[in-house]
Amino acid sequence: FFVFFSVSMAGGDKKKKKTKKGGNNEEGKALMAKRIGYEDMTLMENMTLDGVLSNLKDRYVEDLIYTYTSSILVAINPYKRLPIYTDAFVKQYKGVRLGKLPPHIFAIAETAYTAMIQHERNQSVLVSGESGAGKTESTKLILQFLSARTGRSSGIDKMVLASVPVLEAMGNAKTGRNDNSSRFGKLIKIQFDDDYYIIGSTMEHYLLEKSRLIFQAPGERNFHIFYQMTNGMSKEDKERYSLREAEYYNYINKSGCMTVDGMDESKELQEFREALALFDITGDLEHQMFCILASVLHIGNITFKAEGEGCALDGPDAQKELEITAELLGLTAEDLLFAISKKEIKMRSEIITKPLNAEQARNQGDALAKHLYSVLFDWLVSQLNGCTHAETYKQFIGVLDIFGFEVFTKNSLEQFLINFANEKLQQFFNNQIFKLEQVIYEQEKIDWSIIEFKDNQECLDLIEQKRPPGIISILDEESKFPRATDETFVEKLTSNLSKHANFEIPRLSRGKFNVKHFAGEVSYEVDGWREKNRDELPEHMLRILGQSKNLFTAILYSPEEIADPKGITGKSPFARRQAKKEAAGRESPRAGVTSPRSGMTSPRSAVAVGQAAKKGASKLTLGTQFKNQLQNLMDLLGSTEPYFIRCVKSNPQKIPNNFDDKLIYDQLLYAGMLETIRIRRLGYPIRWTHEDFFKRFRVISPQVAQTKNFRECAEKLALTLDMNMP
């Protein structure tokens, strides 16, 4: 699935050979030489959504997938490899102004790069679109271009390129819409030095879809890595992690989908490991990582049955899985069983232990699996950042590859937060488009006060406002309040928000509320929101994990790191190794489970920095954390010069040469294309050059002489027609 480049693709050997042998540059050149329809749709006489659609179709059938609307690039997924991404194309677009050559994603990357140098300002590229539209592939193409464009093939280029597929193994999965769907959002900042060579990169990630770990809809899969391990590992490795065939594991065997067409799991795993090695994840560290990954799979098979007031392991298989998991996590089977099947209640000065019933224990096991995986994912991102980030740099180009607007049959907290992010991005987009329009009006010395523009601030207030409280604040209150229920949550929403124009409680259905988003109305179901929003493991589980004999597990859960989350970046690989060495010398006390987390000494280590930062912040709820993250993102984007790439899915069958009018129309509608058109309509929607205007209407007043100054000619002509020329 490392479609466009694996570690070796961008400027690497494999690619060079292919270009030489395949000679596909000629094909690419011939393709791009075709002139079909409007390359920039702002030049269309009357810009309507239908007009836009038919222009895009005319071009798409000729394999011209890129089209501009001013500096916004529309990219339609071709579902086939086009020969237009070779080094020859990088060279062709290098140093060329936007619009001079046919539309291409490289042209946007080039524009951002040159603007960064000329304006000495940070740049950003916002890649958006629905699942399967091509956001991640576009992101990779931008990285590929920038890496090849800047021409100095340093180790860091290679690492920046490799970081994307590393995270894909753990953060991507097959869904109904995309065989390689990113189940997290990301912002990659490519850092440049004084000479504008790539000197480093950092990555921020958003909302990993943890619920996928324990449940996948029919036909979908869990994250790729689990199949790479069960189907792709050698016999010895599988024995090392006590792994059996994929079908055995509850977390992956329920959706009826185990494989992806054309995916070779052992090859993928090998590539993943090779890429990990670039980031210092080899030997014992790699082994520890696989221990945690394997433990997640095993936890799903620790099943329970009712017994007395509580529950017991459901037979010898469950017992065996408990033992394997405990071993992998460096715990005793007894401690792990306690962690999963009991709860602790604090009563003033003492802690009382209570058994859970079978269903509750199963849920607690699921919570553990989700927590382990997400902590590992955070750690991995911070490990990559630790290896790639540059302490000092001159400027950056940020590339944002983030989930599009989502509406499912059942919409939960995840969809709500994703749609909140899209409201934010839409507002940013609108403001930018409005600003762009303003610049044109100012250049032409036209009064632009005629454009009164209303954005989606109201909907954003509904979601994120603190006082009076919006949805997130109310959810936070209800998440902290011990006696809150789904009903009290909905009641509070109703009493606070029922007058809001974008909010509605649907009649006849309980536990639901509706939000009118810019892209349509969505009905949300509130069950499980408060637990998800709290986003934490019970205290006793954290304590037990922190006492693991397995150094890596213990450090991921170490309380000192949790208390002091500073230093997320800034560690060199050497400092990390040093810290690891120090860490290796420490004792691992086996404290009684009822004692507080005492006796832990945890040296500062970059192994823990990602988790530490996350945990330090995790006293905040998921909703508030995400809200803050989004605000930081908006501040960052606001300080850059932004470019927009609107990816469009061509058809649901995921096949080449198939333009599904309805599907594409709907995407254009919600991709802000309508907003662009609307803002244009509010002002002067039809724009012709003076020359075109004069030549077209001169027949009406042939007495007006043609000179070289078409502005003057047009003015004279307009006067004879009794028209005002702005």
Is 641 annotated as a binding-site member?
Answer: no
Is 178 part of the annotated catalytic residue set? Answer: yes
Helix, strand, coil percentages, rounded to 5, for the chain: 50, 10, 35
Q: How far is the CB of 272 from Mg ion (least distance, A)?
A: 17
For the segment 66-85, give every residue that binds ligand ATP (CB under 6 A): 77-82
Residue 78, binding choice from ligand ATP, Mg ion, none, Cβ under 5 to 8 Å by partner class: ligand ATP
Which range, of 175-183, 338-346, 440-448, 482-490, touches Mg ion by CB under 5 A? 175-183
- Give the Å distances, CA to CA, from 646 to 96, 157, 412, 535: 22, 26, 26, 33
Using the 8-state DSSP alphabet, how is residue 648 labeled? Answer: E
- Let me know if 665 is exposed, middle or buried by CB neighbors in 10 A (0-12, 13-18, 19+): middle
- Those residues whose C-beta lies under 8 Å from the C-beta of residue 604, and which sit 6 or more positions away, are 560, 561, 564, 567, 579
Is 10 annotated as a binding-site member?
Answer: no
If you search the block for the tokens 């509580």, which residue do you land on?
A: 310
The pattern of x and - marking residues 392 through 411 that bind ligand ATP according to CB under 6 A reads -----------x--------
Q: In whole angstroms, give the CA distance from residue 399 to residue 197.
A: 17
- CB nearer to ligand ATP: pick between 81 and 121: 81
Cβ count within 10 A of residue 288: 21
Residue 182 makes contact with Mg ion by CB under 5 A: yes
Residue 182 makes contact with ligand ATP by CB under 6 A: yes
Candidate list 27, 220, 406, 536, residue with the active-site label: 406
Of 136, 231, 325, 558, the one binding Mg ion (CB under 5 A) is 136
Peptide bond into 468 cis (omega under 30): yes
Residue 185 makes contact with ligand ATP by CB under 6 A: no
- Residue (of 117, 106, 127) closest to 188 by Cα position: 127
Is 181 part of the annotated catalytic residue set? Answer: yes
Residue 624 makes contact with ligand ATP by CB under 6 A: no
- CB nearer to ligand ATP: pick between 615 and 646: 646
Candidate list 136, 172, 325, 502, residue with the active-site label: 136
For the segment 125-164, give every residue that binds ligand ATP (CB under 6 A): 129, 131-137
Q: How far is the CB of 200 from ligand ATP (least distance, A)?
A: 24
Is 132 part of the annotated catalytic residue set? Answer: yes
Is 134 annotated as a binding-site member?
Answer: yes
Which range, of 124-132, 251-259, 306-314, 360-368, touches ligand ATP by CB under 6 A? 124-132
Q: In whole angstroms, give the CA distance from residue 708 to residue 410.
A: 63
The pattern of x and - marking residues 641 through 660 that bind ligand ATP according to CB under 6 A reads ------x-------------
Is 131 part of the annotated catalytic residue set? Answer: yes
User: Which secondary structure element, helix H or strand E, spans residue 311, and what is its range?
Assistant: strand 310-313
Using the 8-state DSSP alphabet, how is residue 96 labeled? Answer: P
Residue 605's SS3 state is coil
Is 136 part of the annotated catalytic residue set? Answer: yes
Q: What totals of helices (H) and strands (E) does the chain contain, helices first?
A: 29, 16
- CB nearer to ligand ATP: pick between 3 and 723: 3
Residue 139 makes contact with Mg ion by CB under 5 A: no
Task: Determine the size of the site formed for Mg ion (CB under 5 A).
Answer: 3
User: Which secondary structure element, helix H or strand E, spans residue 305, and what is its range?
Assistant: strand 304-307
Q: In whole angstroms, give the CA distance from residue 540 to residue 346.
A: 11
Residue 3 makes contact with ligand ATP by CB under 6 A: yes
Q: How far is the CB of 222 from ligand ATP (least distance, A)?
A: 15
Q: How far is the CB of 73 from ligand ATP (least distance, A)?
A: 12
Is 404 part of the annotated catalytic residue set? Answer: yes
Report the amino acid identity of residue 364. Answer: Q
Report the amino acid identity of residue 487. Answer: E
Residue 422 makes contact with ligand ATP by CB under 6 A: no
Estimate the crossing angle of helix 333-341 against helix 358-388, to 10 degrees.
110
- Residue (of 242, 344, 322, 251) closest to 290 by Cα position: 242
- Report the interface residues with ligand ATP, using CB under 6 A: 3, 77-82, 129, 131-137, 178, 180-182, 403, 647
Q: Which residues are annotated as a binding site for ATP?
A: 129-136
Would you please indicate which residues are annotated as catalytic (active-site) residues?
Answer: 131-132, 136, 178, 181-182, 404, 406
- Report the interface residues with Mg ion, using CB under 5 A: 135-136, 182
